[in-house]
Amino acid sequence: MGLNEMRRVAVVGVGMTTFGEKWESSFRDLIAEAGTNAIIDAGIEGREIDGIFGGTMASGKFIGQEHIGALIADYIGLNPVSSTRVEAACASGGLAFRMGFMAVASGLHNKVVVGGVEKMTDVSGDEATVALGGAGDQEWELFQGVTFPALYALIAKRHMYEYGTTEEQMASVAVKNHSNGAKNKYAQYQREIKVEDVLKSMPVASPLKLLDCSPLTDGAAAAVIVPLDEARKYTDTPIEIIGAGHATDTIALASRDSLTSLKATRVAADYAYKMAKVTPQDIDVCEVHDCFTIAEILAIEDLGFFKKGTGGKATQDGETQIDGKIPINTSGGLKACGHPVGATGVKQIAEIVWQLRGEAKDRQVNNVEIGMTHNIGGSGATCVIHILKRAD
Amino acid sequence: MGLNEMRRVAVVGVGMTTFGEKWESSFRDLIAEAGTNAIIDAGIEGREIDGIFGGTMASGKFIGQEHIGALIADYIGLNPVSSTRVEAACASGGLAFRMGFMAVASGLHNKVVVGGVEKMTDVSGDEATVALGGAGDQEWELFQGVTFPALYALIAKRHMYEYGTTEEQMASVAVKNHSNGAKNKYAQYQREIKVEDVLKSMPVASPLKLLDCSPLTDGAAAAVIVPLDEARKYTDTPIEIIGAGHATDTIALASRDSLTSLKATRVAADYAYKMAKVTPQDIDVCEVHDCFTIAEILAIEDLGFFKKGTGGKATQDGETQIDGKIPINTSGGLKACGHPVGATGVKQIAEIVWQLRGEAKDRQVNNVEIGMTHNIGGSGATCVIHILKRAD
């Protein structure tokens, strides 16, 4: 048996909560709202669902709760259905989607809901920094005083040194993503910013400033996955999952060959492109993991959209805008839409599904047939990629 | 596509660390040791492995580290291989095994290593109690002062009330499991105890006393899973995974219909028996989740080995001993072998594989062909079951 013999699988429903500081909603409320929205969007009955896959990173630290799979099944009213939590730091949502895909492709499950969720604002900023530090190598990084923005600052410094990338180019990532976020009713920040705003914002870890960084966010997103041959019972526009890649790298940044390219992205993308039988030129729209502005520049280079070292200039030149050569982060990305770490990977799927269905409203890209999601865990120790296509 | 068309899958290698208070070993050391032992046992090359699935419950609380999938791939030297962490409280290991089975059955992966690990003794007992409380419902249970032993004490009290189960009968579970653990070089406690020892041990949450409770433990276990049609390249005795069940229940104990029977066990077992086309009478040896002695009594009833209410008496009568009607927890169970929560589900697999291969030494059950594992998360909100069979 090879990949060709796997059952073909499609997304037939997506849903999410608004992203932001949601003081009025608990972790349970968030996942229930997103899950319900996806189930309603699919027009599927709860009793048809035979599996749940949930991604969340640090619920133990953020809300004192583990055993998240069972909690989700309980709170969306689907117990005793099989429910599995996966964790890969900020790639937890993308990895949950991969498990849902695998579950239906295998035949072990038939119709599943995938959810991603994080409730990050119930703890102090310091506590959140420590919790997020668990995405890196605690023994070799956080315990030595290296916070998460500091890791990406090292990456940014090296990219500037090797390729002449500028702070203005990084700022242009934030400007573009805020422009897109301003068109997205789910986004945490629905306002435009200018390059000067980024440059004069508070330094966090030089050269990264506040507006180079994604925020702390509460939120959830969900998707319904079924076999392709049953998908048209639920929707006229099933979105097939045609490629899936997942790779790892050393968890500590210092152990890697390069700071300016993520091996996990390259390996996962290579696998996903081959599985989907497409090339970077075939991708019409892509959500990438812009936890910091430099991360988007690395991603659009490592995914093959731009030559290594030219991602900053391409962004500055408008090539990744909604009407550009390859529209990146039409949702607003992590930067403007917000980054509830476990939810982000599933929100990326929702955005691509809306784009492929032609439902992205003011952010709609013209003539889209194939879309991609790129979800990173930590400073690049995990990458999860999916390629989706409007079914014929 | 249905279950009949899934690719058949087998275990070809298992390994573990000794279980105990392992002050000299880090989390990383533990998983590397168990993973390496399983890979050596399989005689497989590291470069043949294309996926890792790791189960751990509360690494964020116990060692300040998330992103465990990438960490494992890194420390067993297999990066950039796809590596996924799953979490379902004390059923994390069993659930990781289920994902590994699904991955190979689907064709998305071909040869995978499954690991379970927990490092619990680097924090204080109080901190461990809070971390483990995350397996229950924090909002409705732990925040109100209900610890984990207290939840099982409520279950025990009700079982005693409804069925006349006695403290002596519960003690006989511990006595049997310590007798088995005394024959297992990996066990945390390799000494026999008597019913009187249990009865006079310190009360923890009445009627449960210290020797009714599984301990805090460090340890790891691992297994190698490949397609059945390639299994004989690695071993003369492949162990096929013929049944897999996974179900959930309400996370809070108070929301359930019954305190004396776990719905998640019944639903997961029903699914696994049907998939394997066997009945409880066909099971020759079983590892069940005895986090407390009462939990083993519930399990052997809910799995269909004994009529509801008679599990205590059956244990007292010796029916679950190595030479009894249905040998239960030949490894020593969680009680004597120890309970590193994320590792337990995979250790159960290792024990059943050793039994089915005839390699269980002094604990070997005669004439075993089919074995079963039963792994519980929390107070029963998750149950993961596997049925394994010596391949013809």
- If you count residue pairs, one on A and one on B, with CB atoms under 8 Å apart, how many are there? 218
For an interface test with B, give the residue of A106, A120, A267 to mutate (most B CBs within 10 A).
A106
Q: Three-state DSSP class for A53?
A: strand
Task: List the structure tokens of B150.
Answer: 């207290």
Task: List the structure tokens of B113.
Answer: 């290593």
From A90, A213, A291, A337, the catalytic residue = A90
Q: Which of A58, A98, A248 sits opposite B60 (nearest CB)?
A: A58
Task: List the structure tokens of A369.
Answer: 């047939």
> B74 vs A251: CB contact, 8 Å cut-off?
yes
Q: Is the peptide bond before A340 cis (omega within 30 degrees of 0)?
A: no
As a whole number of angstroms, the distance between CA B290 and CA B374 comes to 10
The ipTM value here is 0.96
Beta pairing class for B370-377 and B285-287: parallel
Chain A residues close to B1, C-beta within 8 Å: 7, 107, 227
As a whole number of angstroms, the distance between CA B159 and CA B182 comes to 29
Q: Which of B130, B137, B248 sits opposite A80 (nearest CB)?
A: B248
As a whole number of angstroms, the distance between CA B16 and CA B346 comes to 9
- What's the average pLDDT block by block, 10 residues per block, for chain A (392 residues)? 76 98 96 97 96 96 93 94 97 98 95 98 91 90 91 98 98 98 98 98 98 98 98 98 98 96 98 98 98 98 98 98 98 98 98 98 97 97 98 88
> A378 vs B70: CB contact, 8 Å cut-off?
yes
Amino acid B366 reads: N
As a whole number of angstroms, the distance between CA B256 and CA B262 comes to 9
As a whole number of angstroms, the distance between CA A115 and CA A279 comes to 28
Q: Which of A383, A228, A204 is nearest to A303 (CA)?
A: A383
Chain B residues close to A244, C-beta within 8 Å: 108
DSSP string, A313-328: HHHHTTTTSTTSSS-B
pLDDT at B1 over 70: no
Q: Chain B: residue nearest A138 by CA?
A: B65
With cut-offs at 50, 70 and 90, classify the pLDDT of residue B2.
low
Q: Which of B80, B85, B89 sits opposite A67 (nearest CB)?
A: B89
| Cβ-contact B130, B142 below 8 angstroms | yes
A254 touches B at CB < 8 Å: no
With cut-offs at 50, 70 and 90, classify the pLDDT of residue B3.
low
With cut-offs at 50, 70 and 90, classify the pLDDT of residue B92.
very high
Instruction: For CA atoms A375, A378, A379, A380, give the dihedral sign.
Output: negative
First-to-last CA distance in chain A?
25
pLDDT digits (tens, 9 = 90+) for B256-295: 999 999 999 999 999 999 999 999 999 999 999 999 999 9
> B99 vs A82: CB contact, 8 Å cut-off?
no
CA distances for B159 relative to B34, B302, B309, angstroms:
37, 13, 7
> A84 vs B80: CB contact, 8 Å cut-off?
no
> B66 vs A84: CB contact, 8 Å cut-off?
no
Q: Which of B284, B269, B276 is nearest to B369 (CA)?
A: B284
CA distances for B318 relative to B176, B181, B367, angstroms:
8, 16, 18
pLDDT digits (tens, 9 = 90+) for A359-380: 999 999 999 999 999 999 999 9
Strand partners, A115: A54, A222
DSSP string, A128-140: HHHHHHTTS-TTT
Q: What is the DSSP letter of A20?
A: B
Chain A residues close to B134, C-beta within 8 Å: 59-60, 64-67
Contacts of residue A381, defined as CB under 8 A and 6 or more positions apart, other chains included, come to A89, A136, A248, A249, A250, A251, A264, B67, B70, B71, B74, B79
Q: Which of A66, A83, A102 sits opposite B135 (nearest CB)?
A: A66
As a whole number of angstroms, the distance between CA B116 and CA B92 comes to 7
B312 touches A at CB < 8 Å: no
Neighbours of A198 (CB within 10 A): 23
How many separate helices (H) and strands (E) can be counted in chain A? 14, 11
Alpha helices in chain A, H assignment, sequence order: 27-42, 59-63, 68-75, 92-106, 125-133, 148-163, 167-181, 195-199, 228-231, 263-276, 293-302, 311-316, 333-337, 341-357
From A159, A178, A289, A339, the catalytic residue = A339
pLDDT digits (tens, 9 = 90+) for B313-344: 999 999 999 999 999 999 999 999 999 999 99
Is position A339 annotated as part of the catalytic site?
Answer: yes
pLDDT digits (tens, 9 = 90+) for B213-235: 999 999 999 999 999 999 999 99
From B339, B374, B383, B386, the catalytic residue = B339
B80 touches A at CB < 8 Å: yes
Contacts of residue B73, defined as CB under 8 A and 6 or more positions apart, other chains included, come to A248, B52, B79, B80, B81, B83
| Cβ-contact A115, A340 below 8 angstroms | no
As a whole number of angstroms, the distance between CA B181 and CA A37 comes to 50
> B248 vs A81: CB contact, 8 Å cut-off?
yes
Q: Which of B200, B206, B207, B181 is nearest to B339 (CA)?
A: B181
Q: Tokens 């697999």 identify what position?
A: B349
Chain A residues close to B248, C-beta within 8 Å: 69-70, 73-74, 79-83
> A64 vs B108: CB contact, 8 Å cut-off?
no
> A3 vs B107: CB contact, 8 Å cut-off?
yes
Of all helices (H) and strands (E), which one includes residue B357?
helix B341-357
| Cβ-contact B222, B78 below 8 angstroms | no
Rg (CA), chain A: 19
| Cβ-contact B95, B376 below 8 angstroms | no
Q: Directed axis angle between helix B167-181 and helix B293-302, to 10°?
A: 90
Chain A residues close to B79, C-beta within 8 Å: 248-250, 381
Residues 113-132 of A with CB under 8 A from B: 130-131
The number of C-alpha atoms within 13 Å of B250 and in the hemisphere containing its C-beta is 10
Q: Which of B3, B67, B251 sits opposite A67 (nearest CB)?
A: B251
Q: What is the DSSP letter of A255?
A: G
Residues 135-164 of A with CB under 8 A from B: 135-139, 142
As a whole number of angstroms, the distance between CA B358 and CA A363 comes to 63
List phi, psi (to 5°) of A324. Answer: -90, -170
> A86 vs B86: CB contact, 8 Å cut-off?
yes
User: How far A249 CA sits from the closest chain B CA (Å)?
Assistant: 5
With cut-offs at 50, 70 and 90, classify the pLDDT of residue B392.
confident
Task: List the structure tokens of B72.
Answer: 């494992």
Q: What is the DSSP letter of B309?
A: T
Single pTM value for the model: 0.97
Environment class of residue B23 by beta-carbon count within 10 Å: exposed (0-12), middle (13-18) or buried (19+)? Answer: exposed
Amino acid A213 reads: C
As a whole number of angstroms, the distance between CA B328 and CA B372 comes to 10
Of all helices (H) and strands (E), which one includes residue A374?
strand A370-377
**% chain B with pLDDT above 90:** 93
Contacts of residue B380, defined as CB under 8 A and 6 or more positions apart, other chains included, come to B249, B253, B256, B262, B263, B264, B265, B298
Q: Three-state DSSP class for B73?
A: helix
- pLDDT for the residue A143: 87
A274 touches B at CB < 8 Å: no
Chain A residues close to B64, C-beta within 8 Å: 130, 133-134, 138, 142
Chain A residues close to B87, C-beta within 8 Å: 66-69, 85-87
Environment class of residue A352 by beta-carbon count within 10 Å: exposed (0-12), middle (13-18) or buried (19+)? Answer: buried
List phi, psi (to 5°) of B334. Answer: -65, -30
| Cβ-contact A85, B88 below 8 angstroms | yes
Residues 173-212 of B with CB under 8 A from A: none
As a whole number of angstroms, the distance between CA B293 and CA B154 comes to 13
Q: Which of B6, B67, B244 sits opposite A134 (nearest CB)?
A: B67
Q: Chain A: residue nearest B99 by CA?
A: A99
DSSP string, B187-248: -S------HHHHHTSPEEETTEEGGGBPPP-BEEEEEEEEEGGGGGGT-SS-EEEEEEEEEE
CA distances for B283 relative to B328, B355, B387, angstroms:
11, 12, 8
| Cβ-contact A79, B249 below 8 angstroms | yes
| Cβ-contact B135, B57 below 8 angstroms | yes
Query: Chain-wide mean pLDDT for chain B?
Result: 96
User: How far B143 CA sits from the closest chain A CA (Å)?
Assistant: 10
Q: Tokens 């590397």 identify what position?
A: B32
Q: Which of A113, A126, A131, A129 is nearest to A63 (CA)?
A: A131
What is the distance, to the nearest Å, from the Cα of residue A27 to the centroid of all Cα atoms in its chain? 19
Alpha helices in A7-82, H assignment, sequence order: 27-42, 59-63, 68-75
Chain B residues close to A86, C-beta within 8 Å: 84-87
Is position B337 annotated as part of the catalytic site?
Answer: no
List phi, psi (to 5°) of A307. Answer: -65, 145
> B85 vs A81: CB contact, 8 Å cut-off?
no
